[in-house]
């Protein structure tokens, strides 16, 4: 019998904390698309530090067309209630002798939820 490797998942309490952070970010950006955050408002990456000093990185991504430039060169945003978002988190490998930096491991991904995919404001969580 073939043994299948179980997919990586963030600890439940960490996933819930990241979900809270993601929803707060999304609501903040929907209210003001130009709000100053620590990164790109529509492809936002950050790290969540665990008690043991390791990290889990997370990404909040809006892949929709969010606006357009006018003939005058100004940028106008489309209706934020039509934007859809995806949120995932990733394992982060600690520094090693060969690599002194933390390294995101995109092979160990935990997709957390998507928001507003149908323009209905619904949050659909992954198991």
Q: Is the confidence at residue 5, as pLDDT, over 80? A: no
d(CA 8, CA 110): 7
Q: Is the confidence at residue 59, as pLDDT, over 80? A: yes
Q: Is the confidence at residue 61, as pLDDT, over 80? A: yes
Mean pLDDT of the chain: 94
Residue 21's closest CA among 49, 54, 63? 49
For position 6, what pLDDT does the model report?
Answer: 82
d(CA 113, CA 61): 11
Q: pTM, whole model, 2 decimals?
A: 0.90
For position 7, what pLDDT does the model report?
Answer: 87
């Amino acid at each position: 019998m073939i043994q299948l490797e179980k997919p990586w998942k963030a600890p439940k309490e960490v996933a819930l904390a990241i979900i809270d952070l993601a929803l707060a970010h999304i609501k903040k950006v929907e209210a003001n698309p130009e709000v100053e955050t620590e990164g790109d408002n529509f492809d936002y990456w950050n790290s969540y530090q665990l008690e043991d000093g390791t990290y889990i990185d997370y990404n909040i991504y809006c892949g929709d067309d969010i606006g357009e430039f006018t003939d005058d060169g100004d940028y106008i945003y489309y209706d934020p209630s039509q934007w859809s978002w995806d949120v995932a988190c990733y394992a982060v490998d600690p520094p090693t002798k060969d690599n002194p930096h933390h390294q995101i491991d995109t092979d160990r991904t935990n997709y957390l939820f998507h928001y507003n995919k149908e323009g209905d404001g619904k949050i659909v969580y992954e198991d």
